[in-house]
Structure 1
């Protein structure tokens, strides 16, 4: 989006915006530090996507902050068709006690929902999410997560017929494994890579959620894909909310999901990682 104009900034719900500078904040939004009415804030802007782009994130933070530390939502809205979200400014550090982080995630996962899914879909992201409620995790994950990704990868010419056959083997294996797994619909962060946790004054905090209710092994599996979570995290989580026997095997399904999502979003560079898991089935 580039530099925000004075006319744009004047429409924010502040009396005076005195400073603004770009900051790192992921690859989805434009992110800024702003000083307004003598206070510093963090602001995300999503060009041309409107206020509704941030409604899912706001709902996610509001759900998570009942169970753990999250950023504080100041306000969100729309200016000239651009969505914006303003949060309190936090001095974040990637370094902290991962024992605390494990306990924090366990506490989030102890929020058990009525079924698998969420009250609404999220259609405005790079990968649309069908969150229609299901009473069966196997059906939800296959039909509303993995299969749509496989179709997107096919449509983009990123996978061939041999890989599609391997995905079908994975789906068959997943259905079998879920018959012997006692699943429950936990509140999930939904995008639990290391860039989405941090520490504030030594306390762990979760940011940028993509929440829904699902099997908690989904978050655990995603957390293992790109690293950043250490053994203290997993040991503390398991002490607080023990995972069922066989979880180390089952999280491969969620590693595959996450890597396939990256294949769809970022291209062929992720295909070897996808195939390395496909070849295990």
Structure 2
């Protein structure tokens, strides 16, 4: 049996507080120094607090349907509804005789995307704040399967539109304030158990003790290296030299679980409760979650409720916000090119003014 990320099966009742998931997601990746990503899998079995990645794991022979019937204590699969895709993955809903439904994605890609997504969703799920689907398996398909090279199985949530902004702000802040589910983060380190992606861009998450150095190296300089643009690199290095000053008012920064790619398309509700999906999860400074605020549609009610739970550090807040925006603008430039370069230059020149 596969071990890795372990938690109860849905029949235990401990996972039943999440309804059914009709959305999709995607941040994924592999661990730094953990071997080939195609040889890593996660499986949710017993202890929900155990978030580990096991190398060399692969689903037992058979189909995805058989894996669900064999491992999730929900009875036989009575219906499989195909519907939707993300361009690199196909989506299905599996209904079982117990009435339990599972959202499944399959892909011809290696398992790294699903592994990163699964580990991130489960880490957020552990906070018991926002409505997050619990992931039961993410990794390679069963040997001999015709269903691609990888798959992920999670609770199926009935996903709705945007809900109350104040409640979303409050629940997001509570998620950021929650005790980390991962041992390294509880010890004060920044990063995540696996690398993943932000969009299609690799996002390195190797653990570091210092938040500012993590962010500058794993986020800003990483994007600058991908851009291979001398002007951006020159400006970026000057920004990195100045950046530590902007964090001095924050004191000791504690690792918070971050969604990592929080824009309007990844936000909704489940039975009226705020929900997020399609993450690029890591443990970092809570303010970094606002890096996609330029296309997230956060209202003043959202911010008021958020900062009521986690008070705002006013001094140099705007400089830090711009630095967090910069990562995502650089990422968009690396993904899409075009006018995003000018916006990156503008942010950096503003920070250096």
TM-score with structure 1 length normalisation? 0.83
- Give 3-state SS (helix, strand or coil) of 1:174's partner: helix
| Corresponding residue number in structure 1 for 2:262 | 192
Q: Superposed, which structure 2 residues align to 1:21-60 within 5 Å?
A: 21-23=82-84, 29-37=88-96, 40-50=101-111, 52-60=112-120
The CA deviation at 1:257 is 0.3
Equivalent of 2:155 in 88, 108, 121: 88
| Corresponding residue number in structure 1 for 2:239 | 170
| Corresponding residue number in structure 2 for 1:261 | 331
Q: Following the alignment from structure 2 to structure 1, what is the Cα–Cα distance between the partners of residues 175 and 77?
A: 37
Matched, 1:65 2:139: no
The CA deviation at 1:212 is 1.8
Matched, 1:135 2:209: yes
Change in CA separation of 1:170 and 1:42 when aligned onto 2, cut-off 3 Å: same
The CA deviation at 1:16 is 4.6
| Corresponding residue number in structure 1 for 2:344 | 274
**Is the 1:122–1:131 contact (alpha carbons within 8 Å) kept by the matching residues of 2?**
yes
Residues 16-69 of structure 1, C-alpha deviations (whole Å, 9 max, x = no match)? 5744333265x6x4242324436543222232313x432222222222112222
The CA deviation at 1:124 is 6.9
TM-score with structure 2 length normalisation? 0.67
Matched, 1:233 2:302: yes
Q: Superposed, which structure 2 residues align to 1:244-255 within 5 Å?
A: 244-245=313-314, 246-255=316-325
The CA deviation at 1:244 is 0.6
Structure 1: gaps of 5 or more residues? 1-6
When the two chains are superposed, the root-mean-square deviation of aligned CA atoms in Å is 2.6
Number of positions where the alignment pairs a residue of Structure 1 with one of Structure 2 = 266
Change in CA separation of 1:256 and 1:118 when aligned onto 2, cut-off 3 Å: closer
The CA deviation at 1:196 is 2.0
- Give 3-state SS (helix, strand or coil) of 2:343's partner: helix
Q: Following the alignment from structure 1 to structure 2, what is the Cα–Cα distance between the partners of residues 48 and 185?
A: 31
**Is the 1:117–1:214 contact (alpha carbons within 8 Å) kept by the matching residues of 2?**
yes
| Corresponding residue number in structure 2 for 1:242 | 311
- Give 3-state SS (helix, strand or coil) of 1:268's partner: coil
**Is the 1:188–1:216 contact (alpha carbons within 8 Å) kept by the matching residues of 2?**
yes
**Is the 1:45–1:82 contact (alpha carbons within 8 Å) kept by the matching residues of 2?**
yes
| Corresponding residue number in structure 2 for 1:101 | 168
**Is the 2:157–2:270 contact (alpha carbons within 8 Å) kept by the matching residues of 1?**
yes
Q: Following the alignment from structure 1 to structure 2, what is the Cα–Cα distance between the partners of residues 272 and 44?
A: 37
Q: Following the alignment from structure 2 to structure 1, what is the Cα–Cα distance between the partners of residues 109 and 85?
A: 20
Change in CA separation of 1:17 and 1:256 when aligned onto 2, cut-off 3 Å: farther
Residues 188-224 of structure 1, C-alpha deviations (whole Å, 9 max, x = no match)? 22222222221011111122222222111100233x1
**Is the 1:73–1:86 contact (alpha carbons within 8 Å) kept by the matching residues of 2?**
yes
**Is the 2:124–2:175 contact (alpha carbons within 8 Å) kept by the matching residues of 1?**
yes
The CA deviation at 1:276 is 2.7
Structure 2: gaps of 5 or more residues? 1-61, 70-75, 180-184
**Is the 1:9–1:17 contact (alpha carbons within 8 Å) kept by the matching residues of 2?**
no
